[in-house]
Amino acid sequence: MLKGKTVLLGVTGGIAAYKAAALASALVKQHAQVDVVMTKNATEFITPLTFEHLTARKAYTETFDRFTANEVEHIALADRADLVIVAPATANVCAKIAHGLADDMLTTTLLACRCPRLIAPAMNTHMLQNPVTQDNLALLEKYGWTVIPPATGRLACGDVGPGKLPEPETILQYILRELALPHDLTGKRILVTAGPTQEPLDPVRYLSNHSSGKMGYAIARMAMLRGAEVTLVSGRTALEPPPFVETVPVVTAEDMFEAVTARAEKADWIIKAAAVADYTPAEVAENKLKKKEGDLSIPLKRTRDILLWLGQHRRPGQLLAGFSMESEHVLENSRAKLTKKNADMICANDLRQAGAGFRVDTNILTLITAEDSRELPLLSKEEAALAVLDRLLELEKSEQEKRAVSS
């Protein structure tokens, strides 16, 4: 996701410097070009050669190296960086950056950077909690730095508390949020539903479906990466919640109805990708239903239709999209659903098509609106999610143009 991007990785002199090697490797796996700049103290913990092997690029430590007679190295590094991440950042380096001091290769380069800047402090708990350090971190945020909160755990000195460098995967997610995709959805508040609902029969059993939640989670993550403020209302799944997304866990269809309707008014877009039960047991047994001779009949009652309610109560300018998984008459049933539910778009797929069913990493969607139907090829769910967001953005711009002409 970082192909064509250049990340400047600053490494300072703390024991957590070894984790910076894993971060550099993770960035390379995302196809980023990684320039590593180290303080002199950092080279006491890990060698420049380690980073040079991982990135296939020179690691920088000397302030007065030059590319050519007319190009100063630290300025050239700053100019070509799409993002800066300092990890780990010692208390000393945090203080120097906050106050504009530039007395080595790293701080000199950082002072010249105009791109997004992230910093991951790592130090002893008492050093971190010292008011001076807290003031310096606040000052960095004031000047536009994103401060990644330290993790809590056992530190190298033996203390237990906040101050650990977060795992490289966590830091990578901060970088992806900044760089992976254009932020064309900044300012949008998007509500997404995902996963199955579970309708209890008794304390042991429930009725559900095969939804994994992968499609809804992909939509939530891609919307976040494009700058949106995302709320994900999710049934129970085996998936990790997307980072930087407010995740609201629910169990039953009624739980999801309450969670969605309580948040619908504030959403600019609502994308209902959850597989919500249409029926729920009329009564839930207090004790486990025991096995008996003969057949068992379970009376069911209708659940409340979330998409229908949203279509009936939508505010002006709000976009509403639903999903429709069918096994026959896909287009006819989905277009009828579009009209009945007063939605802007239905994302339809055919359960019988290979690659479009439950619990797979791909999907084949047809995006149905009042204007047209667009068939998408077999895509990863992340690619399909981007296509859904693109189409909603088109619909929003079209509506805005119509309003502008009519006014």
The predicted pLDDT at position 69 comes to 47
The predicted pLDDT at position 70 comes to 52
The predicted pLDDT at position 352 comes to 83
CATH 3.40.50.1950 in the chain is located at 6-179
The structural architecture, per CATH, of the domain 189-280+299-406 is 3-Layer(aba) Sandwich (3.40)
In sequence order, which ranges of 81-213 are alpha helices (DSSP H)?
91-98, 105-112, 125-129, 131-142, 168-179
The predicted pLDDT at position 385 comes to 98
- Whole-angstrom Cα distance, residue 120 to residue 299? 56
- Which of 81, 102, 80, 98 has its CA nearest to residue 89? 98
Q: Note whether 212 and 237 are within 8 A (CB).
A: yes
Please indicate whether residue 113 is annotated as part of the active site.
Answer: no
Q: Which residues contact 1 (CB under 8 A, 6 or more apart)?
A: 30, 31, 176, 179, 180, 181
Q: Note whether 149 and 174 are within 8 A (CB).
A: no
The predicted pLDDT at position 94 comes to 98
CATH 3.40.50.10300 in the chain is located at 189-280+299-406
Helices 48-55, 17-29: inter-axial angle, 10-degree rounding:
10
Give every residue of the chain whose pLDDT is below 70, as ranges. 64-71
Q: Note whether 363 and 379 are within 8 A (CB).
A: yes
Q: Tell me, yes or no, if the pTM score tops 0.85.
A: yes
Q: What class, spelled out in words, does domain 6-179 have in CATH?
A: alpha beta
Helices 105-112, 73-80: inter-axial angle, 10-degree rounding:
50
- Which of 322, 321, 332, 325 has its CA nearest to residue 394? 321
Q: Name the catalytic one among 113, 115, 157, 347.
A: 157
| Interstrand relation of 279-281 and 300-302 (parallel, antiparallel or unpaired) | antiparallel
